Amino acid sequence: MEEIDRRIVTLLAKDGRMSFTDLAKETGLSVSAVHQRVRRLEKRGVLRGYTAVIDHDAIGLPMTAFVSIKPIDPAAPDDAPDRLAHLAEIEACHSVAGDESYILKVRVASPHGLEDLLQRIRAAANVSTRTTVVLSTPYEHRPPRFDVDGDR
């Protein structure tokens, strides 16, 4: 992928609703050339979609936490992500190296809501949990900086 595609991706990461007209101005290409490139990036899966950035305080889910989980029975098949997928409070699920097996990012309304969610997580996936409560988020969703190289 070269320069202009990277530029387009970065611009759309900063403003997912930027118009093709504006993308064209920023990249120096014509509108239709930009259009073509964006569609190609979408098709290739480089651009996986678009989403609104939401203020969780404003929608009544002001509490964020990271929940690390570990299976109670290490011999059982590990299908925790599937077993937890129905819990809408879980925004993300990452399989990780280290002492625990997954890190979940969760959004809840209150400490009570967190307590309740943790119980449901433990019950649904047969895991123990370790929770780190987020106090504030100085920044999040920063656009990626990516270079030509394959390293650094």
Partner DNA sequence: GATGAAAAAGACTCCCA
Partner DNA sequence: TGGGAGTCTTTTTCATC
Residues lying near DNA in the complex (CB under 7 A) are found at 4, 19-22, 29-33, 35-37, 40
Q: Helix (H, G, I), strand (E, B), or coil: what is residue 114? A: helix
**Three-state SS for 7?**
helix
CA atoms within 13 A on the CB side of 51: 7
Partners of residue 84 on adjacent β-strands: none
Contact 38, 16 (CB under 8 A): no
Binding mask 27-66 for a second copy (x = CB under 8 A): -----------------xxxxxxxxxxxxx-xxxx--x-x
* Residue 133 interacting entry, from DNA, a second copy, none, C-beta within 5 to 8 Å by type: a second copy
Q: How far is CA 60 from CA 54, 115, 139, in A?
A: 11, 16, 20
Closer CB to a second copy, residue 25 or residue 44? 44
CB of 67 to a second copy, least distance (A): 12
Are the CB atoms for 14 and 143 separated by under 8 Å?
yes
Alpha-carbon span 93 to 104, nearest angstrom: 5
> Contacting a second copy (CB under 8 A), which of 112, 119, 123, 128?
112
Residue 40 touches which member of a second copy, DNA, none, C-beta under 5-8 Å by kind: DNA
- Which residues of the shown chain bind a second copy in the complex (CB under 8 A)? 1, 6, 9, 12-17, 44-56, 58-61, 64, 66, 81, 85, 88-98, 102-103, 107-110, 112-113, 116, 132-147, 149-152
